[in-house]
Chain A
């Protein structure tokens, strides 16, 4: 029994390291040029909000991201390329507020590797207020 565990150890380590490093590839995909100044009729993203989104969120939440889950749940590219319907936009903005309120994003595991991606209190507040105001505008409230 003991012997078997010894043999398995390198494989287990390899398996675990795959998950640890999968974040690296996601972050390397960050594309600096994609977000330019944006104002569509549907949604407005002020420069300061864009800056935070680009620095802290876009690395995983973009079309090219290797994180299937992260881009499926929220793809920042789709905020402006017309791929999110109005309903989707309302939903995604609501989820942004929810995740930030619960301090779920960026994920803790990711932050241990990239501590500079942590949102400051001000940045988090800025994003939440932006998301709330955009959502209300979309819902016509």
Chain B
């Protein structure tokens, strides 16, 4: 190996290790959430399993981190998305939301799920169960709509 090439690879490896040291906080996993949607609202089985597999990793406190989520640079993206997802809508805090916040959240769910904006496009690549077909999206959005109606 030429000397220049060696230096190149050592630099790459060095940077990779430096990346691991860079401190980032991992959004905490909380298993017991008394305000969780699924604990307080009677959600049909097919819907709750869809929510769990396609939404709950980012939109609840019960995130399941895959092994590669502890390796930079993937972990930066995962932690960032999880934090942002919880901020926008956290199903674990559902019952603590005001009525108008819940209605707006349901409206957002209808919009984002039918538009195909959620789950984020790359997420199903690593989470097969998160892949929602046309029909799944309709079912999920109909459920959100009916829950919205129930509230009035």
Contact = CB atoms under 8 A, between A and B. Distances in A.
Interface in B101-119: 103-104, 106-107, 111, 115
Interface of A: 72-73, 85-88, 90-92, 94-95, 135, 138-139
Contact of A91 (B107, B115, B149): B107
B106 A87 contact: yes
Contacts of B115: 72
Contacts of A95: 104, 107
The 5 tightest CB contacts between A and B, nearest first, are A87-B148, A91-B107, A86-B152, A91-B104, A91-B103
A92 B107 contact: yes
B99 A139 contact: yes
Given A87-B106, A88-B107, A94 B151 contact: no
A90 B103 CA distance: 7
Given A72-B111, A87-B107, A91-B107, A135 B100 contact: yes
Contacts of B104: 90-91, 94-95
12 contacts: A72-B111, A85-B148, A85-B149, A86-B152, A87-B103, A87-B106, A87-B151, A90-B104, A90-B152, A91-B103, A91-B106, A92-B107
Given A90-B152, A94-B100, A139-B100, 18 more contacts: A72-B111, A72-B115, A85-B145, A85-B148, A85-B152, A87-B103, A87-B145, A87-B151, A87-B152, A88-B148, A91-B103, A91-B104, A91-B107, A94-B104, A95-B104, A95-B107, A135-B100, A138-B152
Interface in B89-106: 99-100, 103-104, 106
A73 B117 CA distance: 14
